[in-house]
Amino acid sequence: MNYTADELAPAVQEILASAAERSGGESRVSVEARSLPAAFAATESRGRVPIIAEVKPTSPTTEGTNTGDPVELAEAMVEGGAAALSVLTEPDHFGGSVANLERIRAAVDVPVLRKDFLLREAQLDTVESDVVLLIARFLGDDLEPMVRAAENRGFQPLVEVHTEAELTAAVEAGASIIGINNRDLGQLEVDLGTFEELAPKAPEDVTLIAESGVSTVEDVQRMREAGADGLLIGTAIMDGDPTTNTERFTGAHNEH
């Protein structure tokens, strides 16, 4: 692993402790993934900003829980023009579930990202998705084998980074989709400057995603100007009407 527990906020320590306890799937999955880069390209060709809209019922930094039907929320985001969806499967701190992901993926035709804290190869076998999140900070030396294990099952791995060292590790692990998280998972502070600082250091041919803390159209424009091919937005889409919110972000003036 790439961290020591006392560097992490208590909520993150709890998230990782419960992730370590969760079992894997009973048999190896094999996925025919819907392409995330192709979905981004299709959205760009319509003059819209590629947004991965997140079905995020709650989180350690969100007040209350959105009890809306996850499939209805997901369909509303697709209606608003989301290029792809992110679905929390973490059950203990984000109100997510594997069942939510299965139902949503069956109901929509855009790529679906599984958002969880995966620590072991067997946990990849819990459910099918098109894209799977691998967090560099928590995988450390296991990152490269997890990237290979995900690809061997047909998943597109999205490797999440927050520092230059993690970005280097993601590139060395062969990641072709990299998410720069503006939220520091150590202390849960958000700074959009993180993406602006790291994006120029990423290889040109990587699909680059700005994650977390985006709440206004100006934030979308800022991330696009800094080089984001797409943005992952949770709270600001879940808070209010998901269709209107997604439409607003996908329609942010496209400077990219």
Ligand X SMILES: O=C(O)c1ccccc1NCC(=O)[C@H](O)[C@H](O)COP(=O)(O)O
Residue 153's closest CA among 178, 126, 171, 174?
126
Tell the smallest beta-carbon distance from residue 237 to ligand X (Å). Answer: 8
* Residue at 129: amino acid letter: S
Size of the site for ligand X (CB under 6 A): 20
Distance between CA atoms of 112 and 102, rounded to whole angstroms?
A: 10
Near ligand X by CB under 6 A, which window of 100-108, 198-206, 221-229, 230-238?
Answer: 230-238
Strand runs (DSSP E) across the chain, as ranges?
51-55, 84-88, 112-115, 131-135, 156-161, 177-181, 207-211, 230-233
Q: If binding is defined by CB under 6 A, does position 233 make contact with ligand X?
A: yes
| C-alpha–C-alpha distance, residues 14 and 25, integer Å | 22
Active site (annotated) includes residue 201: no
Residue 125 found at the interface with ligand X (CB under 6 A)? no
x/- mask, ligand X, residues 10-49, rule CB under 6 A, reads -xx-------------------------------------
Binds ligand X (CB under 6 A): choice among 16, 101, 143, 185? 185
Q: What is the closest distance, in whole angstroms, from the C-beta atom of residue 188 to ligand X in the complex?
A: 6
Q: Known catalytic residue: 115?
A: yes
- Contact between 85 and 55 under an 8 Å Cβ cutoff? The reply is yes
Considering only 129, 207, 212, 243, the residue that binds ligand X (CB under 6 A) is: 212
Distances (CA, A) of 55 to 23, 77, 194: 23, 9, 24
- Using only C-alpha atoms, the chain has a radius of gyration, in whole angstroms, of 17
176 catalytic per annotation = no
**Which span (40-48, 148-156, 163-171, 183-191) binds ligand X, by CB under 6 A?**
183-191
Nearer CB in complex with ligand X: 110/113 = 113
Range 48-67, binding ligand X (CB under 6 A): 54, 56, 59-61
**Closest Cα to residue 190, out of 164, 156, 219, 166?**
219
User: Which residues make up the interface to ligand X (CB under 6 A)?
Assistant: 11-12, 54, 56, 59-61, 181, 183, 185, 188, 211-214, 232-236
